[in-house]
Structure 1
Amino acid sequence: MLVLEDGRTFRGEAYGAVGTTVGEAVFATGMTGYQETFTDPSYHRQVVVMTAPHIGNTGINAEDRESGQVWVAGVVVRDPALRPSNWRSQGDLEDGLRRAGVVGISGVDTRAITLHLRDRGAMRAGIFSGEAARASHEELLRTVTGSPVMTGAALAAEVTTEHPYVVSPPEGTPTRFTVAALDLGIKGRTPALLAARGVRVHVLPSTSTFEEVLATEPDGVFFSNGPGDPATAEHEVELLRRVLDARLPFFGICFGNQLLGRALGLGTYKLPFGHRGINQPVLDRSTGRVEVTSHNHGFAIAWPEGLATDQPAATPYGPVSCSHVALNDDVVEGLRCHDVPAFSVQYHPEAAAGPHDAEYLFDRFVAMMEDTSAQA
């Protein structure tokens, strides 16, 4: 049984592990990439409703994981595959969720749930199966409403790496630059794409100090995607300000974009139902091109009130432009600083899953490090 915070209930079949789970109910619109979604640390403490009706068709494998574990709190699907059918498949999705202890539900009207969340906004939810589902509706609803909300949640420390590690360029690719990457919930494909461009990536815990960042002798600094409310990330924001003060080239993705905004003095706010999926149109204002992009964010940057997003905003670090904008709802999807070497995007240029329209941003980061190095 799926119980939403506002009392609406959906009955279905147990899927994955049997038991109880609670989290923020959100919907993801991708028709593919469920394994990447479920292993993305940004989905920590979220119950993910998959809008595509058929899930599990291609099974799971060891290559498509974006981290070492399944991070979603729960999974909601309409019509799970009876058996996987793909030459790359190494196992069944439901078996994988069961081994990971992830409680899910199938056989529910995911279209109705999605429309409800779109109209009412993301909300807390619980999935109950087995003995847990025998409790009264009132008791189940109390469990849901007693669970934590996402606003004010500091989650980076729960998903970050415990120890630093290094991702080096593949054999035959010369090392050109070194980047210190703060792991706020980083996906595996991100350092891999940097490494493919000749960048040695030092992945650091979210609690790292500026001195620990400098100890890697970085040519640039990267802040990753991650879960939670950016307003809680005071340590990370202060660290980023020191990076900007040192004029180290900076690139941020998703949570990293929100933290750049806060470091510059901009605010952040919670979106009604967020952007999640692999088909979100974004305009790159520097080129006029529209990119189809991968998203997973429930918070966004608040542009200064009364100022159009096509006008630069004044900050303590000089002007900053809204470099990218979401075409569905005009949400700020990227920042470009004019006076310091820093930029960021709200979406996921590393995709995983999703289109590769925005991979050029990794080249832009490398070019920024080249320019800064040439000026030194």
Structure 2
Amino acid sequence: MSGALLVLEDGRSYPGDAFGATGETLGEIVFNTGMTGYQETLTDPSYHRQIVVMTAPHIGNTGMNDEDPESTRIWVAGYVVRDPAVRPSNWRSRRSLDDALVAEGIVGISGVDTRAITRHLREQGVMRAGIFSGDALVDEAGRTRRLEDLVARVRSAPPMTGADLAGEVSVDERYTVDPVPGSVAEGAEPLTVVAVDLGIKSMTPHRLAERGVRTHVVPSTATPDEVLGLAPDGVFFSNGPGDPAAATHEIDLLRAVLDRKIPFFGICYGNQLLGRALGFGTYKLVYGHRGINQPVMDRRTGKVEITAHNHGFAVDAPLTGEAVAPHEEGRYGRVVVSHVDLNDDVVEGLACLDLPAFSVQYHPEAAAGPHDAAYLFDRFVELMTASTTEEAGDAASY
């Protein structure tokens, strides 16, 4: 087993063993607190350009299968684990985690103290990092590369702030996911949703299909004419990577949807883009929320949900009372914060009171669980149904 070195931009380094492919990888280092669902994490496009540290110590014991990927490839820039499984043990496994990482060229490291790394990131904040192994640990003369040179290499990587990444993970061509057989009443027409792919996970259109919805998934570059030309009953903005402040095209597209009062639902990145479309700011969290155990309160019902998260940015909106959306002196009317994180009071959802639009900062599709927030897809269907029967009120019935 060859050696590897994890290097942070603040100069800290952690020696370990090469895991997956060998070489060099750079990205923003973040940690995920989920104890299960590593395959969904690896294939989540929201992790594009990020090195993921798994806080659970033992990773890989269920291998990799052909049913659980959330996209067509592994998106993480690098992978950090403490104790990888020697061999997978699950009847659905088709290959080991290590083999999957090697096949897709994902550089990783194992045998490091992931708890110490996580504590450091919680105290100092997420930062750029690099994993170096194999030939990447030696210079042209065959000598071991100096730590200061590796730190300089890490600092040359672009930061996540200001990064416009949705176009790098989005589909190139539109595709359609039809309703699940039996989910549409006999003789009825299915509702139609246009889902803008900012890094969409495959389970999202499936959750809509379960509810009798036909979903047209379109690229992030789609124009208002292209979206409206599909005659949607509703528009959906997905999760995705990058800084929402840089997504000017997607924000303009969303405003075109809001101007026409088409029912809108956004999740994760889509929540941040709704916030910016309404005129609120966004900001970078110190270390973000990534995992499947975040407690969030739905203020409409008072219910506390355990939810799946993957975000490093958040919306800056008033936590109490109604606010008038700042864009163009209240063009979009009143807005409330509909959901809030109980760990740190981060805004976890928005609901427009004068438009049929709402969003949440987390993942209600939650392929790896939990499923507490699945009702949000029902809420979206109810909103579209009310709109098509000209009975639409506000988005969340506040």
TM range (shorter): over 0.9
Aligned residue among 35, 39, 47 for 1:31? 35
1:29, distance to aligned residue in structure 2 (A): 0.1
What CA distance in whole angstroms lies between the structure 1 residues aligned with 2:369 and 2:124?
27
Give yes or no for contact 1:24–1:46 (8 Å, CA) kept in 2.
yes
1:280, distance to aligned residue in structure 2 (A): 0.4
Spell out the pairing of 1:115-194 with structure 2 (5 A cutoff). Answer: 115-134=119-138, 135-174=145-184, 175-194=189-208
- The one-letter code sitting in structure 2 at the alignment partner of 1:53 is P
Instruction: Note the aligned Cα RMSD (angstroms).
Output: 0.8
- The one-letter code sitting in structure 1 at the alignment partner of 2:307 is T
2:112 alignment counterpart? 108
Query: What SS does the aligned partner of 1:335 have?
Result: strand
Q: Which portions of structure 1, spanning 4 or more consecutive aligned residues, are displaced by more than 3 angstroms?
A: none
Question: What is the total number of aligned residue pairs between the two structures?
Answer: 372
1:176, distance to aligned residue in structure 2 (A): 2.1
Spell out the pairing of 1:276-287 with structure 2 (5 A cutoff). Answer: 276-287=290-301
TM norm structure 2:
0.93
Say if 2:359 is the partner of 1:344.
yes
1:214, distance to aligned residue in structure 2 (A): 1.0
2:375 alignment counterpart? 360
- The one-letter code sitting in structure 2 at the alignment partner of 1:198 is G
What CA distance in whole angstroms lies between the structure 2 residues aligned with 1:191 and 1:313?
32
Bigger Cα displacement from structure 2, 145-154 vs 170-179: 170-179
Max Rg structure: 2
1:131, distance to aligned residue in structure 2 (A): 1.6
Aligned residue among 86, 89, 95 for 2:93? 89
Q: Percent identity?
A: 67
1:6 alignment counterpart? 10
Query: What SS does the aligned partner of 1:262 have?
Result: helix
- The one-letter code sitting in structure 1 at the alignment partner of 2:375 is Y
1:139, distance to aligned residue in structure 2 (A): 1.2
Say if 2:269 is the partner of 1:259.
no
What CA distance in whole angstroms lies between the structure 1 residues aligned with 2:369 and 2:47?
16
- The one-letter code sitting in structure 1 at the alignment partner of 2:90 is N
Query: What SS does the aligned partner of 1:277 have?
Result: strand
Say if 2:48 is the partner of 1:44.
yes
Instruction: Give the unaligned 5+ runs of structure 1.
Output: none
Instruction: Give the unaligned 5+ runs of structure 2.
Output: 139-144, 392-398
TM norm structure 1:
0.98
What CA distance in whole angstroms lies between the structure 1 residues aligned with 2:106 and 2:385?
44
What CA distance in whole angstroms lies between the structure 2 residues aligned with 1:280 and 1:171?
34
Give yes or no for contact 2:179–2:190 (8 Å, CA) kept in 1.
no
Give yes or no for contact 2:220–2:250 (8 Å, CA) kept in 1.
yes
1:312, distance to aligned residue in structure 2 (A): 1.3
What CA distance in whole angstroms lies between the structure 1 residues aligned with 2:190 and 2:353?
25
- The one-letter code sitting in structure 1 at the alignment partner of 2:365 is E
What CA distance in whole angstroms lies between the structure 2 residues aligned with 1:139 and 1:353?
39
1:16 alignment counterpart? 20
1:207 alignment counterpart? 221
Spell out the pairing of 1:59-78 with structure 2 (5 A cutoff). Answer: 59-78=63-82
What CA distance in whole angstroms lies between the structure 1 residues aligned with 2:238 and 2:181?
25
What CA distance in whole angstroms lies between the structure 1 residues aligned with 2:272 and 2:321?
19
1:324 alignment counterpart? 339
